[in-house]
Amino acid sequence: MSTRIPLPYSPKVLELFKNPKNLGRMEDADAYALAGSLACGDMIAIYLKIDESTQVIEKATFESYGCAANIASSSIMTEMAKGKPLKEAWEITWKQISDELGVLPVIKHHCGILAVGALKKAIREYFSNKQKPDWLPEKITSDEKHALEEEKLMEILSKKLKRKK
């Protein structure tokens, strides 16, 4: 018998976990980001299709290697980003994601932060070979700092595992 206490997920989190929206790789993406969370080891890949003339996100998809909260956060983030100009998508916060999901448990806030961090990394990647707009900060944001690159995440997790042995 498990001694784990189930997390109090909202019905929206459970619905998006069972039936995620916008799930899957996008082969013709204009922007892509892969990010992981040190808090739990979850990973997310986000793909954006962007109308170059209007800079509106036409399509957003994701792949997730994580828990129910990670999948639901990524799913709702793609729903929130679709149809928005990049500047508006950049302003999406993890708190808005949590609110849209009917509140994430405190222990799962990092899932919303990871989703937002991956979105911001993808938007930043889109402008990597283009003229950067005034609204895009030069330095990475705290959300981006929490969404680590896969290699950095693996390096940190490996060090933690070695210390436990």
Just list the catalytic residues.
40, 111
The distance of Cα 105 from the centroid of its chain, to the nearest Å, equals: 17
Could you say which DSSP state residue 23 is in?
B
- 130 contacts 39 by C-beta, under 8 angstroms: no
Can you tell me the distance from the alpha carbon of 69 to that of 59, in angstroms, rounded to the nearest whole number?
22
Give the span between the Cα atoms of 165 and 159, in whole angstroms: 10
